[in-house]
Amino acid sequence: MSDDRPSPAAAREGSMSYSESPTDDPASSGEEGREVPSSRGFLGRLLGAFSGDVADETAPDDIAPGSGATAPGIQNLLRLRVDDVAVPKSDIVAASVESALDDILQMFRDHGFSRLPVYRGTLDTPLGLIHMKDLALKYGFGAEAESPFEMRPMLRPLLYVPPSMPIGVLLQQMQQKRIHMALVIDEYGGVDGLITLEDLVEQVIGEIEDEHDELETGHWVVERPGQWLVDARADLHEIEAATGLRLAIDEGDEEVDTLGGLIGLIAGRVPAPGEVVTHPGGARFEIVEGDPRRLKRLRLRFPGTPDTPRRPIASPAPE
């Protein structure tokens, strides 16, 4: 049996044969039916700032046009690598190419994503991505399917990139190839993470709240008694009221309003995913998701609650 896994060497070189997933349908590449954005569109201006060629009307007041200086957010394009931003493999929501139509529809409903990576056998053998729009146009809106459900003809290409690639380079590739999702490939050819265009843009302009984020009714999920999965942006006083724990600490002039801010205050830095920070009162916070600038999700264990073996995570909790 041949090995369909992406080559790490090709991922490093950025060659076309491995920067896009295999597909027999040339029309499936990118966003069909849309014009190629002009170079002065949003991404064009963003990448212009990255290269120091921002036009006068788009340059911030405190940055001289053409000077090569960059705004603080733009500097992340130069400073951060793909592995600083990517979603870890354990949190990737992906679908098997053998999945039934109902299973795929349920994944889109449950997670609110517009694209899902698709694999054969395991995630280390990716085939491409499926777009919710393609699925809806062919099988949704009450349409009568003329043939049994088959996912392969609807697959679009993915980008495959090494973890060391600067995110500014990946942003340029996504704009040029009109592919908004990439898998991070490790040195052995296995999948190590996932990154989207939205993840990259957020490193420049900050968190993007879409309609799914606005509809969220809470900032935590009770996984089991004494163990909660919590949004790092949750209000500290609300968490105290809900849990009955005393979490606020007296650090002189330092005041924090969110749970993520409290963790950073205790640790004296932004902890990395996988780290556990212990509160002076005995509660423990496992960092589930974050990047070098901020925390996103935490697992709160009440004092006296034992650790549980980490279960394979097929999908992230509501953000």
Q: What is the DSSP string of 172-211?
A: HHHHHHT--EEEEE-TTS-EEEEEEHHHHHHHHH-----H
In a domain, 295, yes or no: yes
In a domain, 35, yes or no: yes
Q: Helix H segments across the chain? A: 8-13, 16-19, 42-51, 72-79, 82-85, 101-111, 132-139, 167-177, 197-205, 211-214, 236-243, 259-267
| Statement to judge: residues 88 and 227 lie in one domain | no
| Statement to judge: residues 49 and 143 lie in one domain | yes
User: Domain of 118: which CATH number?
Assistant: 3.10.580.10
For 145, which DSSP code? P
User: Domain of 264: which CATH number?
Assistant: 3.30.465.10
Q: Which pLDDT value is given to residue 313?
A: 39
- Structural contact between residues 171 and 43, judged by C-beta atoms closer than 8 angstroms: yes
Q: Which pLDDT value is given to residue 148?
A: 82
| Statement to judge: residues 226 and 166 lie in one domain | no
| Statement to judge: residues 217 and 252 lie in one domain | yes
Give the pairing type, strands 159-161 and 191-196: unpaired
Question: Would you state the structure tokens that stand for residue 162, as one six-digit string?
Answer: 């090494």
pLDDT one digit per residue (tens) for the chain, 319 residues: 445 566 555 454 443 333 444 434 433 444 443 444 444 455 555 555 555 444 433 444 444 444 444 455 778 888 889 998 898 888 899 999 999 998 998 888 888 889 999 999 999 999 999 999 998 888 875 556 667 888 999 999 999 999 999 999 999 999 999 999 999 999 989 999 999 998 898 888 876 665 555 434 468 888 888 999 999 988 898 999 999 999 988 765 467 888 998 999 999 898 998 899 999 999 999 999 887 778 888 999 999 888 764 443 334 444 4
- 3-class DSSP state of 57: helix
Q: Which pLDDT value is given to residue 44?
A: 58
| Statement to judge: residues 78 and 94 lie in one domain | yes
In a domain, 308, yes or no: no
Question: What range defines the domain where residue 263 resides?
Answer: 213-301
Closest Cα to residue 233, out of 270, 260, 195? 260
Amino acid at 268: G
